[in-house]
Structure 1
Amino acid sequence: MDHAPSHSSQSEPMSTALLTDQYELTMLQGALESGTADRPAVFEVFARQLPPGRRYGVVAGIGRLLDALESFVFDDPALAFLTSRGIVDDATAGWLAKYRFGGDVWGYAEGDCYFPGSPVLVVKGTFAEAAILETLVLSVLNHDSAIASAAARMVSAAGGRPIIEMGSRRTHEMAAVAAARAAYIAGFTTTSNLEAGRLYGVPTAGTAAHSFTLLHDNERHAFQSQLATLGAGTTLLVDTYDVERAVRVAVELAGPALGAVRIDSGDLTVMARRVRALLDSLGAEETRIVVTGDLDEYSIAALAAAPVDGYGVGTSLVTGSGAPTAGLVYKLVARGDSADPGAPMRSVAKRSAEKQGRGGRKSVVRHIDAHGVAQAEIVTTGESSPGPHDRTPLVPLVREGAVIGREPLATARARHVQALGELPPTALQLSRGDPAIPTEFVDTHLSP
């Protein structure tokens, strides 16, 4: 289903301008004072390294960021807040009142993979208009890419078995919506979150919790009620009391057409085998087994040989399975010597010992061999020269302030399958190791 902008159902989209850090605006005020605010500038988003144990990252959040960028306007309430607190002076408030991003943005398309140093996003504009986007860009991309990266590992570990995202109760209410979207891009099949379904068209699913069974006088009554409401194809939760007894009652009531049973506790490998044998003995060979309960990519991989047909993942997914941020940074890499659009561009970079940057606007080529396997991420400050099988991950997203890079969520989902499929087989290993492909930096000349 096509992606719908997050503000599509609102006549007055909420301003995103204050979803930022104060220092973005104090820098702006200082630049306006010094006369440097209008200097041309290029910012890049990249990760210095991947989280420990990760061999690739997955880009997610681009669509959400484009929506947020269109709503990044300083309306009257925002300006009143800023001036009443003395955060900006009147001159800066006047500048902000007219602010609309008018620059260009390129980025890795959603679902694609990235590696240390990959220029995931490139923002070109004046210093003032580009610098104040830093916090918004990073908050969206760091969260969504962390979730998608964890989700991709879980999907790989599942080996084709479907996974439902069910982490809404374990994170902030709006983060839950973004997490469901990111997980779907990375291959999760459904979400329990209805707002993600409404906003983004992510397929939704859900049946009942233990409280529904406990509400009724007995398990039989609870199952009867659920079957009467949702039909025999539903999923019955069978571990509230005694699993074996619950499975027998479930099949007795629903017959062999029972859709699935869910196990949420205990040794899931052992329980799945016992339940599978029992279902088969009762003639319910087609009834599926779904397991939930603090799963992550490692426990999913451990269940590979068990007769499990699907998984439900919550806490580990919405917390990035140990890496809740992608570690992306937003850095100035080039700027003009003056506000003149024709002024020469100067390469700039941070030189501190442990956080050295690489100056100059980058281009990138993913080198792919004749067999379709990625060999390296080649990042250069000059014009790139793709080989016959190579591809360039950066795509245009915004041109002169106008969003041009929106796409259906299904496109991002399909892209992820393709991007993961071109990585070497070692990329899918859950053990610690180096990035799936190396990043090679080639310094040539600055391309403004």
Structure 2
Amino acid sequence: MSTADLELPVDVPSTALFTDRYELTMLQAALRSGAAHRHSVFEAFTRRLPEGRRYGVVGGTGRVLDAVQSFRFDPPVLEFLERERVVDGPTLEWLAGYRFTGDIWGYPEGEVYFPGSPILRVEGSFAEAVLLETVILSILNHDSAIAAAASRMAVAAGDRPLMEMGARRAHELAAVAASRAAYVGGFRSSSNLAAGFRYGIPTIGTSAHAFTLLHDTERDAFTAQVESLGRDTTLLVDTYDLTEAVRTAVEVAGPELGAVRIDSGDLLLLAHRVRQQLDDLGAKNTRIIVTSDLDEYAIASMAAAPVDAYGVGTSLVTGSGYPTCSMVYKLVARGADADPAGPLTAVAKKSMGAKTSVGGRKWAARRLDADGVAEAEVIGTGALPADLADHQLLVPLVRGGQITGREPLDAARTRHITARATLPLSATQLSRGEPVIPTETHIPR
């Protein structure tokens, strides 16, 4: 359980400038026209999954809640906006008192989603809600992409643990977010200490090739590590000659050696050779960990190999080829005034091509067959059909500006395992295909 997910740290800086300039210029014009206070409904969704993917994974919800809570225009931010002449005086005055006082509903973190799923619904005045567009999308698009990649890798790995090692392949802040999203998607640990500190994710790591190269001999390096970290440590055995290194590792640590790590070469072939050598040396319980540019396909190819754990970096933190989910944040309904209980008018972009959207405040549910297997993602406006009442997907995250949806990170991780298990078996195939269930839209005429 992560205390950081339950209470926002007091030193978190303002997120108000994690936005695009046109959010503020729209606000200024809307304040001028008098429409800024109209009750509005925005929804975040994606029109399609990345090519070939069977399902998406909601990642970053907890970080969205943190960002909303810390979205404040403090004096340094206001001074910057005034100096750069981004908005006028009346708008700056309005921003100085900004607090989001509306409601946010969303798919809970770790849930799966499909094209059109209203992953997040933000309701409040146009002025309050429009400003959150960019920060919400930047978090959801990044974290959901990483969580989806992690989920695919977790499926490929089966019961074997996955370790996230991608910090050096990403922006330093994105790396921490990636560790968190990977944990939601099924990874068990991370090399990133900031992720461990902030989110309570178990951390791992022992030594790199530099440690071996530092010492006069490989034996000296292994001896130093075992004396410092114990016989249960993991020794990196591919700096020089792999066979000689494994022999030396067992001589130094004894058959109680915790693990060896292979970081280069034909991992499938080498894992078999190393397993045989370890067994012959009496180190039958010594585990084999493989790293080196792994992705879900490489992991799947080693399903029959004597591998005990995988370390994944670059492919994971880049979304395994899809670093974004192409989510958008669209105004779907507006009121005539500020009354949240007043009637709403559905609105939607109707331009040519693939960028059309469906207007109206939506509900979402997942229809299951008699065996409890998902058969359709159902979204709609108006009354929710009675047969779907027990399968609603949207949960309250913010009520009247007060955050209600924080939860331990492990809850999102467990939820994802449960949600993925309800999908048809073809969802776990790594071959390219269409979304594993269709999206049905119910809009009353």
SS of equivalent residue, structure 2 residue 387: coil
Paired with 2:217 and 2:7, the residues of 1 have a C-alpha distance of 45
| Shift of residue 2, structure 1, vs aligned partner | 2.9
Please name the residue that 2:360 is paired with: 360
Please name the residue that 1:440 is paired with: 440
1:165 and 2:167 aligned: no
Please name the residue that 2:223 is paired with: 224
Please name the residue that 1:278 is paired with: 277
Please name the residue that 1:207 is paired with: 206
Paired with 2:334 and 2:389, the residues of 1 have a C-alpha distance of 33
Paired with 2:43 and 2:344, the residues of 1 have a C-alpha distance of 15
Please name the residue that 2:371 is paired with: 371
Deviation string for 1:201-253 (max 9, x for gaps)?
Answer: 00000010000100010100000011011111111000000100000000111
Q: 2:6 touches 2:406 (CA, 8 Å); kept in 1?
A: no
Q: 2:367 touches 2:374 (CA, 8 Å); kept in 1?
A: yes
Matches within 5 A, 1:178-189: 178-189=177-188
Please name the residue that 2:105 is paired with: 106
1:16 and 2:19 aligned: no
Please name the residue that 1:175 is paired with: 174
| Shift of residue 336, structure 1, vs aligned partner | 1.1
Paired with 2:341 and 2:238, the residues of 1 have a C-alpha distance of 70
The AA in structure 2 aligned to 1:98 is G
The AA in structure 1 aligned to 2:270 is M
Paired with 1:252 and 1:387, the residues of 2 have a C-alpha distance of 65
The AA in structure 2 aligned to 1:420 is R
Unaligned runs of 5+ residues in structure 1 are: none
Matches within 5 A, 1:341-420: 341=340, 343-354=342-353, 355-385=355-385, 387=387, 391-420=391-420
SS of equivalent residue, structure 1 residue 51: coil
Paired with 2:117 and 2:147, the residues of 1 have a C-alpha distance of 17
Paired with 1:411 and 1:7, the residues of 2 have a C-alpha distance of 15
Paired with 2:323 and 2:9, the residues of 1 have a C-alpha distance of 30
Paired with 1:342 and 1:237, the residues of 2 have a C-alpha distance of 63
The AA in structure 2 aligned to 1:211 is A
Q: 2:44 touches 2:329 (CA, 8 Å); kept in 1?
A: yes
Deviation string for 1:72-103 (max 9, x for gaps)?
Answer: 00000000000111001000000000110000
The AA in structure 2 aligned to 1:233 is D
Deviation string for 1:373-431 (max 9, x for gaps)?
Answer: 00100001122235379521110000000000000111111101100000000000011
The AA in structure 2 aligned to 1:215 is L
1:141 and 2:140 aligned: yes
SS of equivalent residue, structure 2 residue 375: strand
The AA in structure 1 aligned to 2:304 is A
CA distance 1:246–1:207, change in 2 (3 Å): same
Q: 1:367 touches 1:390 (CA, 8 Å); kept in 2?
A: no
Unaligned runs of 5+ residues in structure 2 are: none
The AA in structure 1 aligned to 2:356 is Q
Which deviates more, 348-357 or 73-82? 348-357
CA distance 1:342–1:83, change in 2 (3 Å): same
Please name the residue that 1:323 is paired with: 322
Paired with 1:352 and 1:338, the residues of 2 have a C-alpha distance of 26
Q: 1:36 touches 1:339 (CA, 8 Å); kept in 2?
A: no
Which deviates more, 384-393 or 363-372? 384-393
The AA in structure 2 aligned to 1:313 is V
Q: 1:6 touches 1:200 (CA, 8 Å); kept in 2?
A: no
TM-score, scaled relative to structure 1: 0.97
| Shift of residue 340, structure 1, vs aligned partner | 4.5
**Could you say what the CA RMSD is over the residues aligned between the two structures, in angstroms?**
1.3
Please name the residue that 1:312 is paired with: 311
Please name the residue that 1:266 is paired with: 265
CA distance 1:333–1:388, change in 2 (3 Å): closer
Paired with 1:403 and 1:323, the residues of 2 have a C-alpha distance of 31
Paired with 2:341 and 2:335, the residues of 1 have a C-alpha distance of 9
Paired with 1:321 and 1:386, the residues of 2 have a C-alpha distance of 40
Please name the residue that 1:243 is paired with: 242
Please name the residue that 1:125 is paired with: 124
Please name the residue that 2:192 is paired with: 193
May I ask how many residue pairs the two structures share in their alignment? Answer: 444
CA distance 1:341–1:178, change in 2 (3 Å): closer
Paired with 1:228 and 1:387, the residues of 2 have a C-alpha distance of 63
Q: 2:8 touches 2:66 (CA, 8 Å); kept in 1?
A: no
The AA in structure 2 aligned to 1:149 is A
Q: 2:366 touches 2:388 (CA, 8 Å); kept in 1?
A: no
CA distance 1:6–1:166, change in 2 (3 Å): farther
Paired with 1:4 and 1:385, the residues of 2 have a C-alpha distance of 38
